[in-house]
Structure 1
Amino acid sequence: MNWIAIGKLTDIPLRGARCVKTPQGKIGVFRTAENQVFAIEDHCPHKGGPLTQGIVHGTSVTCPLHNWVISLETGEALGADEGSVKTISLEVRGDEIFIALEEQLMAAE
């Protein structure tokens, strides 16, 4: 894994999100009300809606397009909906957030 610094924890408000563009595509970085941080692909498995523009509640986000609820922990759609997005490894070191990018994608640049 190749760990890349993407910003400070304080750059993301509680119950907020930021979109990070990477060679893997757009990644959503989410901060919960309990100060947990998660990273998942920034597109809903339903119609591709931008999850970073959705509402963060608990450890889930609701897509702004059609109200699908996606688990930030597993990337799985919740309730009666089916589908998933990829979760991305993330670490908080002090106040810095790092995400893991797959090495083969980094080498392809």
Structure 2
Amino acid sequence: MIQTITRIPVANYSNLKARSGYSIKIADTEIALFKVTNGKIFALENHSPHPKGGVLSEGLVSGEYVFCPVYDWKISLVDGKVQAPDIGQVRTFKTEVIDNIVFINL
């Protein structure tokens, strides 16, 4: 079975501020987009895996981690894993920057 990847343009790279989260919606999927201080772009689902949730695009970014604004869970922007002692994971999305445009691959 061949899996089709859809590349979707979502932002201008130069308009994104480092250490800030941005909420975008693609179809029924809410995605948090982050630019970190080294210039890398990350995208993950925009809700904490905590049962009561939390909007990750509103969280504090430190290095390659975002902290849930409600429960302060530390979540890796690289792989979406919640750091110990908490447990859980959020879905991540591959990003690319081409000619100053940020794309998310779905």
Decide: shared fold, TM above 0.5.
Answer: yes
1:99 aligns to what? 104
Partner deviation per Cα, 1:7-66 (whole Å, 9 max, x = no partner): 111222011111110124100110111111100000000122000000110000001001
Gaps of at least 5 residues in structure 1 are 102-109
CA distance in 2, matches of 1:28, 1:54: 10
Task: Give 1:65's aligned residue.
Answer: 70
Residue 9 of structure 2 is aligned to residue 9 of structure 1: no
Match in the other structure for 2:80: 75
Residue 31 of structure 2 corresponds to 27
CA distance, structure 2, for counterparts of residue 94 and residue 28 of structure 1: 21
Identity of aligned residues (%): 35
Amino acid at match of 1:92: V
Partner SS state of residue 88, structure 1: strand
* Distance across 2 between alignment mates of 1:79 and 1:10: 34
TM-score of the pair, normalised by structure 1: 0.88
Deviation at residue 79 of structure 1 after TM alignment: 2.1
Q: Which has the higher helix share?
A: 1
Query: Which residue in the other structure is 2:95 paired with?
Result: 90
* Matched residue count: 101
**1:40 paired to 2:77:** no
Q: Secondary structure, in 3 states, of the residue corresponding to 1:17?
A: strand
Instruction: Please identify runs of 4+ aligned residues in structure 1 that moved more than 4 A.
Output: none
TM-score (norm 2): 0.91
Deviations 1:64-107 (A, max 9, x none): 00100100001000120100000111111121100112xxxxxx
CA-based RMSD: 1.0
Unpaired segments of 5 or more residues in structure 2?
Answer: none
